[in-house]
Amino acid sequence: MALSLILLDATSLMPGLAAVPICLGVAALIASSMQHETFVRRGLSLQLLVFVGRISYSLYLFHWPLLALATYWLERSLSPMEAVVVVAGSLTIAVVSWTYIERPFRGERGRAWPADRKFIIAGASAAAARAFVGNAIKDYDGWTWRYDGSVGKLLVQMSSTNPRRKHCDGAGNVFANDEYCNVGSRRRSSYDVALFGDSMANQWAPLLEAASQRNGWAARQVTNGGCAFFPGVELPVKDVKLRECAQYLTQALKFIDANPGLKLAIVSAYWQTWKTRLDRDPLPRTRHLPIGAAIASYAGPSFENAVLQMIRVFRDRGIKVHIIGPVASLKFRVNCIIRAAREDLKFDVCGVPAEQARASLEPINAIFAQAAANDPGVSYSLPPEFMCDSATCSPVIDNVIVYRSDGFHLNHEGAELLSKYIHVPSLE
């Protein structure tokens, strides 16, 4: 148990095998005190510790929502004193819950809650109602109709998404729904332009549509949420999502071969996460996903080599490549946007310092710059160059909130606005 306290950190597989030693240690500790009067048994029998154990389940249920809501309300991390106050409130609620809900339910106060059909129906109905309301809030983007004026307008912008994604994104849609997914001119024997990558590529669908309509190109997106286009990178397929990514790569390569007239590939991805995955080296000050067991065992090419392999797949076929680099991760809270709109504040308060954002993305951007310098058929765009001013990367540009609520995906209206700053190359 002591070694677990010392050795486990944020990268440990928890819950998972990393929890086994501490669980076995606790079990051994309990077993050792069942038949003998040990020092541990005497210590754990103290009334204060016994009482904490009694209310521990109620405390477990209530402490995290209170901490999360307080942090959300204040729009920052809690100070030590604020954390003490919230934990004290959690203890109070836990005692009340244990006294008036938990004990009566278990029959510890002379009566048990009825375990008959009416009780089961009431409990199931309450759970179903909560699930219904929760899903409704999620599906309707937090019920933005609660707000009007400038706040309502911003929230509608924030929740806008690519309307074609349902039918044009995903491995199963690469060769499906051509009539709907074909943008610009009608495809004849081959598409001229295609958009490849994960959800960070899908968000640039407005760019693909605007450029193809302006230039008379036949174009379509070939994207899959959560899966970058890295041909030749064999990620372990123990993970369900990585198996999906393998299917996407297979279908995307078939698409390229089936379209010999393809002249330009626009590629984007959640580059920060993929660099973390392939290099297992988290970038400073960027948002990245935890490295799971399947990815931790990865032993393929580095992120830079994976990017170069991707470029070669296109260039060997004479296809130009335009890479759209990463956007800055702001990680703002929605209520920061609401407060700024209501109080007529600058939305910069919800952003991040531009110097910090650019510095965190520089290791990625440098790879794209070098690839373009080595091959005139490769070009790139760096969104922070036109999304950030000299001081701040703001979530609102020209009175349009350009991010979704997660603070790192662009919404549809934001991508439409920003597409005019991206100059894709000609097909000549």
| Tens-digit pLDDT profile for residues 379-407 | 999 999 999 998 999 999 998 999 998 88
**Whether residue 293 has pLDDT greater than 90:** no
pLDDT average, residue stretch 112-136: 82
The answer as to whether 60 is a domain residue is yes
pLDDT average, residue stretch 255-260: 96
The answer as to whether 319 is a domain residue is yes
Q: In what order do the strands lie in the sheet with 193-197?
A: 183-184, 218-223, 193-197, 264-268, 320-324, 378-381
Q: What is the pLDDT of residue 300?
A: 63
The answer as to whether 13 is a domain residue is no
Assign 6 to helix, strand or coil: helix
CA distance linking residue 40 with residue 131, whole number of Å: 43
Q: What is the pLDDT of residue 238?
A: 63
Q: Are 88 and 126 in the same domain? A: no
Residue scoring higher pLDDT (206 or 237)? 206
CA distance linking residue 344 with residue 119, whole number of Å: 50
Q: Are 314 and 331 in the same domain? A: yes
Q: Are 250 and 308 in the same domain? A: yes
Count the neighbouring beta carbons within 10 Å of the beta carbon of residue 195.
28
Confidence of residue 291 (pLDDT cuts 50, 70, 90): very low
Q: Are 260 and 313 in the same domain? A: yes
What would the pLDDT profile of 359-386 be if each residue is shown by its tens digit? 999 999 999 999 999 999 999 999 999 9
What would the pLDDT profile of 308-323 be if each residue is shown by its tens digit? 999 999 999 999 999 9
pLDDT average, residue stretch 335-341: 86
Q: Are 325 and 269 in the same domain? A: yes
Q: Are 218 and 239 in the same domain? A: yes
pLDDT average, residue stretch 257-283: 88
Q: Are 222 and 131 in the same domain? A: no
CA distance linking residue 253 with residue 255, whole number of Å: 5
Average pLDDT of the residues of the chain: 87
The answer as to whether 5 is a domain residue is no
Q: Are 98 and 119 in the same domain? A: no
Which span out of 32-36, 244-248, 292-296, 341-345 was modeled with the highest average pLDDT? 244-248
Q: What is the pLDDT of residue 167?
A: 96
Cβ-count burial 177-192 (b if 16+ within 10 Å, e if not): eeeebbbbeebeeebb
The amino acid present at 295, given as its one-letter code, is: I
Please name every residue paired with 378 in a beta bridge, in sequence order, or none if there are none.
321
pLDDT average, residue stretch 144-154: 81
The answer as to whether 83 is a domain residue is yes
Say if residues 278 and 298 touch (Cβ distance below 8 Å). Answer: yes
User: Of 309, 302, 315, whose CA–CA distance to 263 is shortest?
Assistant: 315
Q: What is the pLDDT of residue 140?
A: 78
Residue scoring higher pLDDT (95 or 34)? 95
**Whether residue 283 has pLDDT greater than 70:** no
Beta strands in 115-213 (DSSP E): 183-184, 193-197
**Whether residue 294 has pLDDT greater than 50:** no
| Residue owning tokens 């297992």 | 280
Q: Are 346 and 371 in the same domain? A: yes
pLDDT average, residue stretch 102-114: 65
Residue finishing a domain among 106, 138, 171: 106
CA distance linking residue 95 with residue 102, whole number of Å: 10
CA distance linking residue 273 with residue 245, whole number of Å: 14
Confidence of residue 289 (pLDDT cuts 50, 70, 90): very low
Q: What is the pLDDT of residue 281?
A: 60
pLDDT average, residue stretch 56-64: 92
Q: What is the pLDDT of residue 382?
A: 95
User: Of 420, 336, 320, 260, whose CA–CA distance to 76 is shortest?
Assistant: 336
What CATH number is attached to the domain comprising 357? Answer: 3.40.50.1110
The answer as to whether 314 is a domain residue is yes
Q: What is the pLDDT of residue 88?
A: 94
**Whether residue 147 has pLDDT greater than 90:** no
What is the domain extent for residue 61?
Answer: 23-106
Q: What is the pLDDT of residue 236?
A: 64
The answer as to whether 10 is a domain residue is no
Q: Are 173 and 286 in the same domain? A: yes
Six token digits for residue 180: 């709907």
Q: How many domains does the chain have?
A: 3
Q: What is the pLDDT of residue 237?
A: 59
Does residue 226 come out as left (phi exceeding 0), alpha (psi in the -120 to 50 range) or beta?
left
Q: DSSP code of 117?
A: H
Which span out of 4-13, 100-109, 288-297 was modeled with the highest average pLDDT? 4-13
**Whether residue 282 has pLDDT greater than 80:** no
Q: Are 162 and 133 in the same domain? A: no
pLDDT average, residue stretch 60-88: 89
Q: What is the pLDDT of residue 143?
A: 79
Q: Are 74 and 135 in the same domain? A: no
Q: In residues, how long is the chain?
A: 428
CA distance linking residue 150 with residue 168, whole number of Å: 32
The answer as to whether 40 is a domain residue is yes
What would the pLDDT profile of 186-236 be if each residue is shown by its tens digit? 999 999 999 999 999 999 999 999 999 999 999 999 999 999 999 988 766
